[in-house]
Structure 1
Amino acid sequence: MLSPLILIAAAAPAPILHYVQSNRDGSVSEQISMTRPSVTSVAVYRHGGRCGVPTYVTVSFDPKSGEVASLDTGRVGAKGEQVRSGRFDFDPATRTLSAWADLPSGRVSDSILVPDRPWHLFNYGWATLNAELQSARPRRDFAFGLPWAGSASGSFLQYKGRVRAHFRGYDQHGKQQALLFNLSLEGPEPATGKLLLDASGGHILLAELSVAGHGDSRDFRIELHKVEKGGARAWTRLLRKRDANCPKGR
């Protein structure tokens, strides 16, 4: 198990990691960028194309346990701020994950039991898992629970089961030395996949799983596309730059 998370203080601003998430064959793709403003927080920016309606997610980790405590979801405001439209909260005492979201049809809310800890939401490019891996930097087997937020079968929240990651050793991903893990999902819809981590930074280089990551997909793949220098100014510039030439009132 990765938890309790060993938090590693960063001497310099965390980089901005840019990913492409898609089906395993590359279809139904979207871009996801993430950064870690601190060791107890993560910011995620997801969009499918220029001038669309992106998603802006901020995550808070419990500083004592290192587990995910809450997620706020929303859109990007005019000044690069988060305009919140949803929230997830985890109660460790009851192992209950609760969430609400404001949709065009109205507010929806739900709660589920998460029997496995730690857990990582199978949404937003697996950003919470990515953050924990950068701190824990595992070189051994580990496991975690996999809740998911969507609308399948009328349920806003679902528990997909337990993911087991089996460490296979060192590998290569492009020019990067990597750590290879085989993934297996134990749950109502069993699945298999793989995980490649940067050997020095611990972040995800490539992750695949043979189960849908969102409603429009058949399966799941996320791959690192680019790394750039981070910091608050760089992150805000990224959020504002994308919509600089978009029509107002979109």
Structure 2
Amino acid sequence: MRQMNSKLSATMVAGLCAATFALPNAATAQFGQVGTIYHYERTNQDGSLPEQVSVFYAAADAVEVYKAREKCTDAAFVHAKLDPESGVAASITGARLLPDAQHRDFAFLTYDEAAKELSIRVELPNMPVIEKSTQVEHTPWHLYDFDFASLTIAHQAANNPKADFEFGLPLLLADPSLDEPLTYLGTVKASYDDEYTALSHRFSLSFVGDDAEIGQLIFNPMHGHLELAELNMPNHLGYEDFKLDLLSTQKGGEKGWTNFLTNHFAGC
């Protein structure tokens, strides 16, 4: 099993994240779930440090994500445009949520498909601008600190939802003191568990070239969205490992999503 170095694990950023939106055996995307909001809770595997992560399937070519610890506190907002033909997100923008469902952009990630290169520009207050690029060894890829928001959309388009698949796992560290704030952790293999007795689809995870299990993904058997993710390494500052648990889904549409975002600062 691969290990992240101590400096990397100590500087996990809890705001910006991004990824592609396709699986190796993806069919033409099924857009029946557009308008759905997926409400997750991210924690350590022991349940500590809870944070809400809500994913809005905004359109066939768009996804938006909200992340916050508590109402009235700082909240992250990420909006990404994707190509529904290729399933690749060419541009992803990280922002800070503002009152009345507004946001202020500060981080800009782009993907050069021909060069297999991710590039980031981060403009944080009172900090040097971060501009870095990294090669991505495998496509599709899912940025780890995006909490698999892209994967819950991408997997809905899989031809065979029980087929094994692989994905690249890059990581963004918004720390200007790092020489490599944007890194590639490796390629992850997701292997279907045919002994899992529940109706949901379980996949065990390992790095390609290493048989040691590093976690699991569990998907909804009807619609393909992510129900549970667990990995034995953290993806944000202050965490020991990673757990993402689906709490609920709602067909909120644009109006419901706007109301949800507005409510974060309402009455504060």
- TM more than 0.5: yes
Query: Secondary structure of the residue that 1:240 maps to in structure 2?
Result: helix
Q: Hey, what does 2:45 align to over in structure 1?
A: 24
Q: Hey, what does 1:232 align to over in structure 2?
A: 254
TM-score by length of 2: 0.83
Query: Secondary structure of the residue that 2:150 maps to in structure 1?
Result: helix
Match runs of 1:78-117 below 5 Å: 78-104=99-125, 105-117=127-139
Query: Secondary structure of the residue that 2:238 maps to in structure 1?
Result: coil
Deviation at 1:100, TM superposition (A): 1.2
Amino acid at match of 2:182: L
1:63 corresponds to which of 68, 84, 89: 84
Deviations 1:57-89 (A, max 9, x none): 012222331122221110123331332111110
Q: Distance in 1 between matches of 2:156 and 2:32?
A: 14
1:133 corresponds to which of 147, 155, 166: 155
Query: Secondary structure of the residue that 1:106 maps to in structure 2?
Result: coil
Q: Does 1:145 align with 2:174?
A: no
Whether the 8 Å contact between 2:216 and 2:231 is mirrored in structure 1 is yes
Query: Secondary structure of the residue that 1:103 maps to in structure 2?
Result: coil
Deviations 1:79-115 (A, max 9, x none): 3133211111000010010011122313212110001
Q: Does 1:168 align with 2:193?
A: yes
Segments of structure 1 that go 5 or more residues without pairing to the other structure are none
Taking structure 1 as reference, are residues 80 and 16 closer, same or farther at Cα in structure 2, changes over 3 Å only? same
Deviations 1:18-40 (A, max 9, x none): 00011111112210001111122
Taking structure 1 as reference, are residues 242 and 172 closer, same or farther at Cα in structure 2, changes over 3 Å only? farther
Q: Distance in 1 between matches of 2:155 and 2:117?
A: 23
Q: Hey, what does 2:221 align to over in structure 1?
A: 199
Taking structure 1 as reference, are residues 9 and 195 closer, same or farther at Cα in structure 2, changes over 3 Å only? closer
Q: Distance in 1 between matches of 2:222 and 2:64?
A: 21
CA RMSD of aligned residues (A): 2.2
- Bigger shift: residues 79-88 or 146-155: 146-155
Amino acid at match of 2:151: L
Whether the 8 Å contact between 1:2 and 1:138 is mirrored in structure 2 is no
Q: Distance in 1 between matches of 2:72 and 2:99?
A: 13
Q: Distance in 2 between matches of 1:198 and 1:187?
A: 28
By relative contact order (CA 8 Å, sep 6+), the higher-ranking structure is 2
Deviation at 1:232, TM superposition (A): 0.4
TM-score by length of 1: 0.89
Q: Hey, what does 1:123 align to over in structure 2?
A: 145
Deviation at 1:44, TM superposition (A): 0.3
2:93 corresponds to which of 72, 95, 98: 72
Q: Distance in 1 between matches of 2:213 and 2:88?
A: 24
Taking structure 1 as reference, are residues 172 and 34 closer, same or farther at Cα in structure 2, changes over 3 Å only? farther
Whether the 8 Å contact between 1:74 and 1:85 is mirrored in structure 2 is yes
Q: How many residues are matched? A: 242
More strand per residue: 1
Whether the 8 Å contact between 2:24 and 2:165 is mirrored in structure 1 is no
Taking structure 1 as reference, are residues 30 and 219 closer, same or farther at Cα in structure 2, changes over 3 Å only? same
Amino acid at match of 1:229: K
Structure 1 vs Structure 2: percent identity of aligned residues? 31
